[in-house]
Structure formats: structure tokens, C-alpha cells
Amino acid sequence: MIWTRKHLLDIESLSVEELATLLDTAMAFKSVGERAIKKVPALRGKTVVNLFVEPSTRTRISFELSEQRLSADIIDFTAEASSLKKGETLKDTARTLEALNADFIVIRHSASGAPHFLSRVLDAHVINAGDGAHEHPTQALLDMLTIREKKGRIAGLNVTILGDILYSRVARSDIWALTKLGAHVTLCGPSTLVPKSFERLGCRVTHRLEEAIRDADVINLLRIQHERQRRSMFPSLNEYVNLFGLSKQRLALTKPDAMIMHPGPVNRGVEIDSDIADGERSVILQQVTNGLAVRMAALFLINGGGGPQAVAV
Ligand code: CP
């Protein structure tokens, strides 16, 4: 297919064909990452601003390395040392960056909809690197790439997302991607963090952990997003660990080949036992590696590159 989108703002609006093109192009970039010379000239002469107004380790570094591999000029914007601290609006900051000829703005922001807003007021391409509790599209893409690589398919798999669904942008993007690609999605966690209303997105909702993990081919664990919760959503962390933490005893109840995922950052000993996070069923670090290929693919396609067949440059 010919890629026509100017921005990558969410997974919700992408077609199955667009998702497949992103994943196939990412696979082609994985081979580039295995070459002696890992750099391609696809974004030579283009300027990318990484506008991270909320903390990030994985996404920020992964975008930066992807942009370097595509030969872009990069500006890393540090919110703490910027005029945002003096009361400048996001719109004025972004338009200032555009006036310096930025071609791409990669934005992470605590406000849901911030990337969509920028896409309406700027001429530059906008990529959402996580907006509030709304979406985190490149995380979902790297999750899909990892599942497809490890399991050979996504359609028909039972995927359980366990933890704080309500405040998670990763959960929302994963739900859109998984349901579009034909997986059966189960959501589990405390009823305050996993409301039944999520069934409207085509998921099964249960508050019983054993039921959620028993038939799962993939278990994706999410941390408690304390930074977005305005009140306590469960009595204590201990109670959460007792009811919903993935312990070794609970892992023993799962299918022997059930794969364990986590977008990070991991709160060891809370949503996941430390040994499981480091164990042979965990693909947490493969997820990080795949993030690079997925972000290269997104930048490449949005810049007007062809599909996977055009990557061999
Ligand atoms: N998964 C993820 O978004 O991690 P960071 O917050 O470290 O970018």
C-alpha cells in the first residue's frame, strides 16, 4: 500500500493494512540493524525535535537512536530547561521549533490530545510518543512486532493485559491494535482500575487473575500509574500484590509457552516477581530492541518512504 498519513497520532484511526505496512517495514529495518553499517540516509537533511514534556527512558532514547540511524538532524528538547517553565504555551513552543525548520515533532505530554492539537496548528509531521492516558502508538506497534515475531501470528491468540488499565495509554493502544489484528483480549485487575466499560472495545473483562491467565498465550503486565491517579484506587500495595501480582505460583498456572511482556518501567515485586521479569519467558528486552525498528519504520513511512521493499537503501 502507499502510505499517505502525515502524522502518527494513535492506533485507533489506523486500518489493518496500515498496521501491517508499519510492522512489515519495521521487520525490514530490523535487518538494517543487523548490518555492519546500521545507518541509512532516509532522513538526511531533515530535522526532528524530540519534545518530551513528561519523563521517559525507553521511548526517548529509542526515538533518538532511530533518528540517528536514519541520518536526521536531531534536537532534544528538555522541558525543565525551557521557556515552558516561564509560562510559554505548548503551541508557542512548538511553533518556535517549527520556525527553526523542524520537519518532525515527536511529542510526549501528560495531556491527552496534545499531539492531535499540535497536528492541527503545525505544518510539521507529528508523532505521538505517549499522551496522558490516551495512546502510545509506537509502544503498541513494538508490542505487536514482538508478539508476531515470537508467536508467528497475532490473529486468534489469547492476550491478557493485567494491571492498571484505566490510566494506561499502553493498554488503550494495545487494545486497538490487538483487536484490529484479530487477537482475543482479556483485561484484568482491580475493578477500580479495570471498569466493565472496556468491554465496549471488544475485550473480555475479569477481576479474577487465575481466570485471566489460565488460557493466555501472551500476558502483558502494566505498572500502577500513580502519577495519573488522583486518589487511591485500592487499599494497599500489599493487597494489590496479593491479588494481582504475577508470582511464580501464579506463573505455574499458565500455559507452558505463555509469553510475558511489560512496556516498562517495571516495578519489581509489585506487578511482577523479579525472577519472572528476568526469566526465559520474559520478552521485555526484546520489546525494547523492537522499538528501534518500529520507530525507524514510522519516521520512514511518514517521510514519504515506500513500504518494506523500499528499505534496502
Ligand atoms: N514504555 C515506555 O513508554 O517507557 P518510557 O516511559 O521509559 O518511555
Q: Which domains are seen in the chain, by residue range? A: 16-135+288-310 (3.40.50.1370), 137-283 (3.40.50.1370)
pLDDT at 308: 81
State the Cα–Cα distance between residues 81 and 84, nearest whole angstrom. Answer: 8
Answer yes or no: is pLDDT of 288 > 90: yes
Q: Residue 310 has what pLDDT?
A: 82
Asked if pLDDT for residue 227 goes beyond 80, the answer is no
Residue with CA at minimum distance from ligand 1 atom 5: 56
Mutation probe of ligand 1 site: the residue of 57, 143, 226 with most atoms within 8 A of C-beta? 57
Residue 29 parent element (H or E): helix 16-33
Region 149-178: mean pLDDT is 97
Over range 130-159, report the average pLDDT: 98
pLDDT at residue 229 tops 70: no
- Buried b / exposed e over 241-267, threshold 16 CB at 10 Å, is beebbbeeebbeebeeebbbbbbbebb
Please give the mean pLDDT across all residues of the chain: 94
Nearest CA to ligand 1 atom 6: 56
Query: Residue 173: CB within 6 Å of ligand 1?
Result: no
- Check whether 255 has a pLDDT greater than 90: yes
139 lines ligand 1 (CB under 6 A): yes
Per the CB < 8 A criterion, the answer to whether 129 and 114 are in contact is no
pLDDT, position 16:
98
Ligand 1: centre distance to CA 1 (Å): 30
Q: Is 56 in the pocket of ligand 1 (CB under 6 A)?
A: yes
pLDDT at 306: 77
pLDDT, one tens digit per residue, over 107-129 is 999 999 999 999 999 999 999 99
Confidence band (pLDDT; 50, 70, 90) for 231? low
Identify which of 143, 145, 108, 101 has the alpha carbon closest to the alpha carbon of residue 122. 101
Give tens-digit pLDDT for 2-53: 899 999 999 999 999 999 999 999 999 998 888 899 899 999 999 999 999 9
Mean pLDDT, residues 233-254: 90
Q: pTM above 0.85? A: yes
Strand-strand pairing, 184-188 and 158-162: parallel
**Closest Cα to residue 129, out of 83, 79, 86, 181?**
79
Q: pLDDT confidence of 313, banded at 50, 70, 90?
A: low
Please count the helices (runs of H) and the strands (runs of E) in the chain: 11, 9
| 152-163 mean pLDDT | 98
- Tell me, using a 6 A CB cutoff, whether residue 58 lines ligand 1: yes
Instruction: Give residue 130's pLDDT.
Output: 98
Predicted local confidence at residue 32, as pLDDT: 87
